[in-house]
Amino acid sequence: MPAANYLPDVLETTEAERVASGFIFTEGPLWHPDNFWYFVDIRPNKLYRITLGQKAELVRNTEGGNGTTFDLQGRLILCEGDGRKVTRMDADGKVTTLVDNYKGGRFNRPNDVVCHSNGSIYFTDPDKRRAYHEREIPGRAGDNNLWDGACVYRLAPDGTLSILANCEYPNGLALSPDERTLYVANTRSSKYIHAIKLDAAGNMVGRSIFADLNEGAEPGIPDGVKVDSIGRVYCTGPGGIWVMAPDGKRVGIIKWPEQAVNFAFGGQDMRTLLCCAHTSVYTLRVKVPGNPHPWYKARGR
């Protein structure tokens, strides 16, 4: 690996290990406390699970499966962009549509999703990859007078769906350790990360630009975003996965053999970084654990 991958405050290992390959466009990595990982291959619409050291196994076919998370009961939540919906898969494999429209208009292409410790589900729905004549969300819906075309939504525990914020091209999502900031990767013409300030209930009370990722000509865009346990923000960008301090200052860039698309922290100590990079899935070890999902915490992880 390039010398730039020697980040002494970030990485424990510096050479990425390829753990699976032969895919088209991998995405949606997520670690399960039973010590396996989920990920998707978007183009052929496949959801996989893999135990490191073993071959990936097909879980089910999807409708454009992309971003993943768990709910507080450990059920898999999946954005299915082609199906224009967010789904839930129970332990027995039963799949239920959680939500597929806002005020009667079908979503554009749900992309990424995170779970709050209060049970709220936040997800992004960019409109740029949906033909204009196919967009169904109403122009104005009265929620803070926001334009509804490309939004971050909040699905409350009682099933109420509302717009949290609008964005040019909302993509990856991550919550800060104290859950008072929601980071949103903005893709396409302007490459940056939003920081949406939340109140104790998880509603937006302010927003700002956390970091600008427009620097560099190497391949890569703000897509997957995660946070470690000390509040550093990791986000894909030009050249690899950018690591930023809680104040937005760049610490360094983690390089991979292919363009990094999305990634997740996992393993029993939350210090394995699994990266989905187009045709393959890779791992590195980091020094600081990732911020655990609230369901992990409930299980004592």
Residue type (1 letter), 31: W
Query: Phi/psi at 173 (nearest 5 deg)?
Result: -130, 150
Alpha-carbon radius of gyration of the chain: 18
For residue 138, the model assigns a pLDDT of: 66
Provide the residue ranges of all domains of the chain, joining segments of one domain with +: 3-298
Residue 289 tokens, joined: 């654990």
Which of 52, 82, 73, 64 minimizes the C-alpha distance to 28?
64
For residue 149, the model assigns a pLDDT of: 67
For residue 5, the model assigns a pLDDT of: 80
For residue 298, the model assigns a pLDDT of: 77
Total length of the chain? 301
Residue stretches of the chain with pLDDT short of 50: 1-3, 140-146
* Average of per-residue pLDDT values in the chain: 93
User: Checking phi first, is residue 141 left (phi over 0); if not, alpha (psi -120 to 50) or beta?
Assistant: alpha
> How far apart, in whole angstroms, are the C-alpha atoms of residue 266 and residue 291?
9
For residue 131, the model assigns a pLDDT of: 85
Residue 293 tokens, joined: 């999902």
Residue 8 tokens, joined: 């002494």
For residue 40, the model assigns a pLDDT of: 98
Domain spanning 3-298: which superfamily?
Answer: TolB, C-terminal domain (2.120.10.30)
Pairs from 264-269 (Cβ < 8 Å, separation ≥ 24): 264/29, 264/30, 264/31, 264/37, 264/224, 264/226, 264/290, 265/31, 265/226, 265/228, 265/289, 265/290, 265/291, 265/292, 266/30, 266/31, 266/37, 266/290, 267/31, 267/35, 268/35, 268/301
Output b/e per residue, 159-190; b: 16+ Cβ within 10 A: eebbbbbebbbbbbbbbbeebebbbbbbbeee
